[in-house]
Structure 1
Amino acid sequence: MTLAETASHAPVALIAGNGRIPLQVATALAAAGRECKVVAIRGEADAATRSLASAELGWGEIGRLYAFLNKSGCRDVMLIGGVSKRPDFASILGDLGTLRRLPTIIRALTGGDDSLLTKVIGLFEVEGFRVVGIKDVAPGLLAASGVLGKTQPRDTDWQDIQLALTATRKLGELDIGQAAVAVGGRVVALEGAEGTDAMLERCADLRGSGRIRAKNKTGVLVKTAKPNQDLRVDLPTIGPRTIERADAAGLAGIAIEAGGALISDREETLAQADRAGLFVIGIDQAALSQGRAE
């Protein structure tokens, strides 16, 4: 058997950070009949994820992590969920397995987010594991193409989608963020290190102060993967809180990349968007560059 064939018959390990996505991936795998072993990142994974975990390890226990994966027969590994902060150098001095790999680990802690993630993937691959993504094991969690709720975007919304999409591409080229907001034909906010929620809060403040002058729901949040981003990790994600923040910012809707973005708590998220009168749409970037992708 090849490595891929062996991995597909073995349990998949979920290295789980914060948020609800790890739990939803584990649920999807169980429904598909695929065994998984959840490894909760100490200080990141929430209580629901920890309740499913076969192990809970800190940043400095990489040697123990590899030992657990080998003992459990896991060849596929998925890095899923958020990480609130990068580990500092003190936190990785945990066990002999970590110390032996210290030069490689330190190199992985430098550079931009994409550089970091690429190096983290390399840390697993050099040990003989295969890093997989949502598309490989739970594709049903990815956003489909087209309008996903009851509210339809207007012609003016499509203009803002195009503009914000252009902005996200530029952001991605610089490895800065995955999201932008355009209102009334101009970009008003770009995502930085603070994340999407904080960016939307800034938009709400701008509208409240009159810097964004729009009486009705106007403007669009666009979230896409960065150009050449490895789609096995760090996919753009929206959820109920995104809807809440977008509504508070007075936006008309949200556009995310079809097949390249996640919707956390899909039913709840779309129902909340319907109640708020916000559209949620999955866009095909290639199709959109040639015209409206409905």
Structure 2
Amino acid sequence: MNASPDVPHINGRLAILAGKGLFPLLVAQAARKLGHDPYIFQIKAEADQDWSGFDSSRISVADLSTFAATVRREAIGSVVLAGGIARRPDLADLRPTWRSLVAFAASFRVFATAGDDKMLRFAIKVLENEGVQVLAAQQVAPDLLGQVGALGHVSPSAVDQKDIEAASQAALLLGRLDVGQGAVSVRGRVIALEGLEGTDAMLARVADLRASRRLSSPVGGVLVKLCKPGQDERADLPSIGPDTVINAHAAGLSGIAIEAGRALVLERDRVVAEADRLGLFVTGITPRQEEVEQCLR
């Protein structure tokens, strides 16, 4: 079924654990182009797309028992994690299998206490323990990855480059703490860091700072989104979409920089169209290796 060496080896039927947003649907459509018929696990209270054209079921994010039974029934061998999950499960939500209970009983507290990357690493281990391989979404949908350089007609200026450098350093340090993936710099000064509230809420804070004249410059600044140092790339890659561009403009920013090859651009054509319409740049960058290594120490 695989058409070329660039297509990942997919064991059994492919499944997608679908959270919030358009991303899972884009991955499912890409899988169909590869000749697969993906099964969709719609995560309760998160999945918000129309999945009527796919085999699917709704499942609690911590219901491993139902997941394992469906894996056996549908002959699923590979799983992709895609989409946002706003609510973390607690122990009351947990429906383990005997296999997962024996292997990970002492570690399930990670659901309540760990940072996002640690929690996702643990979730991947649990899924793999149930006998499936966990693939990165970008292995199935590589066209979603951003590339080096400007996506549209606007490119960053020399001033913007200084903001990109400052925000990149802040984003890497923030990621090292397993807190967030984004930062905003204005005139070389880091003025906002992404927390649990996400990118859009951070940009809203920047807009509020501008409206209250807490920032000396009425316009300018850059949003940078990077992978966390050492991040498992099979889940939670940084991403942007048309709303990110619109919100960055509302915050008075000059543009957005994302990590080339390790960040997702959802609805690329719309992203480029909105950026060009609003006069913002969207560009792919490669963090300096020494900065990444320093964060990993």
Distance 1:6 1:203 in 2: 40
Measured in 1, the distance between the counterparts of 2:84 and 2:8 equals: 28
**Cα deviation 1:107-130 (Å, max 9, x = unaligned):** 341321111111100001122211
Q: Report the secondary structure of 1:83's partner residue.
A: coil
| Contact 1:22–1:49 under 8 Å retained in 2 | no
Give the C-alpha shift of residue 34 in structure 1. 2.6
Equivalent residue for 2:156, pick from 136, 153, 156: 153
Question: What CA distance in whole angstroms lies between the structure 2 residues aligned with 1:160 and 1:286?
Answer: 15
Q: Give every structure 1 segment of 4 or more consecutive aligned residues whose post-TM-superposition deviation is greater than 6 Å.
A: 94-102
8 Å CA contact 1:142–1:263 kept in 2: the answer is yes
TM superposition score normalised by structure 1: 0.89
Q: Which residue of 1 aligns with 2:208?
A: 205
Q: Provide the aligned C-alpha RMSD in A.
A: 2.4
The residue number in structure 2 matching 1:292 is none
CA distance in 2, matches of 1:256, 1:86: 26
Question: Hey, what does 1:57 align to over in structure 2?
Answer: 59
Q: 2:221 aligns with which of 209, 212, 219?
A: 219
Matches within 5 A, 1:81-100: 81-93=83-95
Contact 1:7 1:76 in 2 (8 A): no
Asked if the contact 2:15/2:78 (under 8 Å) is kept, the reply is yes
Instruction: Pick the aligned partner of 2:135 from 132, 135, 148.
Output: 132
> Partners in 2 of 1:266 and 1:288 — Cα distance?
30
- Residues 171 and 50 of structure 1, relative CA distance in 2, 3 Å threshold: farther
Q: 1:123 to 1:95 in 2, by over 3 A?
A: closer
TM superposition shift of 1:135: 2.9
Q: Distance in 1 between matches of 2:82 and 2:167?
A: 26
Q: Deviations over 1:49-79 (max 9, x none)?
A: 4663522112353111111112212211111
SS of residue paired to 1:75? strand
- Percent identical among aligned pairs is 43
2:294 matched residue in structure 1: none
Q: 48-57 or 120-129: which moved more?
A: 48-57
Q: CA deviation at 1:239?
A: 0.8
- The one of 159, 184, 195 aligned to 1:181: 184
Separation (CA, whole Å) in 1 of partners of 2:290 and 2:151 = 17
Quick check: 187-196 or 279-288, which moved more?
Answer: 279-288
Deviations 1:235-271 (A, max 9, x none): 1011111111100000000000011111111111221
Gaps of 5+ in 1: 290-294
Tell me, which stretches of 5 or more residues in structure 2 are unaligned? 1-6, 292-297
Secondary structure of the 1:272 match is helix
1:172 corresponds to which residue?
A: 175
SS in 2 for 1:285: coil
